[in-house]
Amino acid sequence: MKRILFAFLFLFSCALTGCTERLSAEEDVLSAVSEEIADLEELESRIEELCEGEGAVHEENRKMIAAVGKKFEEAKAEMEKNQEELRQSWAALPEDVAVKLLQRLVEDPELKISSVRSLCPENISLTDFLKMVNVGKRCAPAIREYIFAEAANDKAKELGDTFVATSLAGLEQAVDEKKAEILLKLMEDCPGYNDMNADFPLEELIPPIDALVEKFGWNEKKVVDAAENFWLTARPCVGPGARMVKTVDGIEYAFRWCPAGTFTMGGTGSDEKPHSVTLTKGFWMLETEVTQAMWKSVMGTTVRQQRDKGGPDWPLKGEGAEYPIYYVNWEESRRFCEKLSSKLGVQVSLPTEAQWEYACRAGTTGAYAGDLDAMGWYEDNSGGKTHPVGQKKANEWGLKDMHGNVWEWCLDVYDKDFYARSPSSDPCNWEDENSGSDRVLRGGGWSSGAESCRSAGRYFNVPGFRDHNLGFRIVLAVSDK
C-alpha cells in the first residue's frame, strides 16, 4: 500500500513539476510582450463584462435610461391629470373635431380661436367653444411634453442598445489591434525582420505562437496565418511601392506594395463616371505583366502554343522569356493564379478593376500616371509589337507597363453602368465564373491609341477571348490592413 502511495505521490509531483515548468517556459517566450498581453487580458475582460450586462458601459447606460424614464413617468402623470380635465370640458365635442383641435393646440399653444372657428360644431355656441379652446390651451403643454418625453424614452432605449453594440465593436477592434501588436513585437527579433525579401520565420515563431494558443485558446492555424499576413504587410519596411521578390521554379516574381487608401476612380468616358472608392486592404501587385517565362513554368505552354489555340496562322508579336505572355484568355489567367497560389503558398488573383486603376494611378489624378511615351508601349512608339517587360519608366509605386504593351485582364464582369451603383468600399463586380458575359480589360496595348491607355480607360471582351495584344498581371491577396 505504501508503495502505491509513494508511486502516486511521485507521479503527482512530476505532473506538478511539468505543469510548473510549462508555465515557466510559456512566461519566458512571452516575456517580451508581457505588457501587451496584460492589456489584451484587460480588453477581453471588459468584453466579457459587457456581454454579461455588467461594467461601466451598462451602468452609464442604465443611468441614462432611468433618468429619461423618470421624466417620461412625470410627464405621463401630468398629462393624465390634464387629459381628465380636457375630457370633461370637451365631452360635447365630436371625436373627430376633438382630435383635430388637440392636434392644432399641441402644434401651436398660442392658437387663436379665429383659426379654428371652422371646427366649431353647429350645436355648440362660439362662446362655449372659446371656453373649450382655452381649456385646451391650458392642457396642451402637458400633453405636448408627454409626447416628447415618450419619444425620448423610446429613443433612449434604442440609443442604449446602439451604445452597447458600438462599445462592443470598439473593444473587439481594440482586441484585434492588440493581437496584431503582440505578433508584430514577437517578430522584431526574428531574422530578416527589416529585410523585405526575407522568408516568414515560422520556425522561430512557433514557440511563442504555441504559448499564445495555450494561454488564450486561440486557433493555431489562424494565428500562424495572421502572423504571416503581418510579416508580408505590416513590418516597418513595408511602405507604398515597397518591393518584394519571390522565386518560383528559379524565376523571380517582383511585387510592389499598394497600401489601403481612397481615390477618385473614373474618367471622361461614357462608362467612367468619376466616384470615390476606398480600398480597405492593401495588396501586392506584380511589378510587370506576367512574362512568357512565368507562364511556361506554371502552365507548361509557350506563346506559340497559346497562339496555336487560336490558329497557327495568327501572328506572333514578340517572343522570349521576358516578353509578356499573350494569346491567353480570362479563364486560363485564372487557372494560372490557382496553380501559382499552390506554388507560393499565398492566394494569387487577378486584380479587381478598382485595384488595377488604384495601382495604375499610384496617387496621380491625371489621364496617365506620367508621360505616356516614357511609361508605355502603344501604337505611336511600339513598332507594331510587344516589348520585354520593365523597359519603360515605372509609376510612383514602382509598377511598370501599366500603360500599354498588352491589355490586362481584370477579375470583374464588365458593366457600363456599374460605377453608378458600385459600393464605395472594395468594389468588385464579380461573384463566380458564371457571372455576366464579358470581363474587364485595362491599360491598353502595343496597338492601342493613347486614349485607350488612360488610367481610367475601360474595355471588355468575353472570357474565352484571346489576342496578340492581351495578357494580364497578378496580385497577392494577403492583407487585412
> In the structure, what pLDDT confidence band is assigned to residue 478 with cuts at 50, 70 and 90?
low
Q: Give residue 15's pLDDT.
A: 44
pLDDT band at 382 (very low <50, low <70, confident <90, very high): very high
113, pLDDT greater than 80? no
Q: Which residue has the higher pLDDT, 315 or 152?
A: 315
Average pLDDT score over residue span 105-123 = 84
Q: Report the pLDDT averaged over residues 141-165.
A: 85
Cα dihedral across residues 115, 116, 120, 125: positive or negative: negative
Model confidence at 274, pLDDT cuts 50, 70, 90, reads very high
pLDDT at 25 over 70: no
d(CA 118, CA 371): 77
276-291 pLDDT per residue, tens: 999 999 999 999 999 9
Phi (first) and psi of residue 390, to 5 degrees: 80, 10
**Cβ contact 264:274 at 8 Å:** yes
Q: Which pLDDT does position 14 carry in this prediction? A: 45
- Which of 48-62, 116-130, 211-225, 334-348 ranks highest by mean pLDDT? 334-348
Mean pLDDT of 52-76: 85
Q: If residue 143 lies in a helix (H) or strand (E), which one and from where to where?
A: helix 126-187
Q: Is 243-476 in CATH node 3.90.1580.10?
A: yes
pLDDT band at 395 (very low <50, low <70, confident <90, very high): very high
Q: Pick from 191, 215, 218, 219: which is nearest to 205 by CA?
A: 191
When pLDDT is averaged across residues 189-218 and rounded to a whole number, the result is 90
Does the pLDDT at position 23 exceed 70?
A: no
pLDDT confidence band for 345 (50 / 70 / 90)? confident
User: Which amino acid appears at position 344 of this protein?
Assistant: L
**pLDDT over 90 for what percent of the chain?**
55
Q: Could you state, in order of their start, the residue ranges of all structural domains in the chain?
A: 23-238, 243-476
> What's the mean pLDDT when you consider all of the chain?
89
Under the banding of pLDDT at 50, 70 and 90, the label for residue 133 is confident
Kindly give, in sequence order, each residue whose CB lies less than 8 Å from that of residue 134, ignoring residues fewer than 6 positions away.
none
Q: How far is CA 37 from CA 40, 193, 229, in A?
A: 5, 21, 20
Which triple of cell numbers denotes residue 27? Answer: 512566461
Q: Mean pLDDT over residues 435-454, rounded?
A: 95
Residue 439 pairs in a beta bridge with: 413, 461
According to the model, what pLDDT value does residue 206 have? 92
Q: Is the pLDDT of residue 20 over 50?
A: no
Could you read off the pLDDT of 287-311 as tens digits, one per residue? 999 999 999 999 999 999 999 999 9
Is the pLDDT confidence value at 209 over 80?
yes
DSSP secondary structure, 395-462, as one string: -TTS--S-SBSSEEEEEEEP-TTHHHH--SBS-----STTS-S-EEEES--TT--GGGGSTT-EEEE-
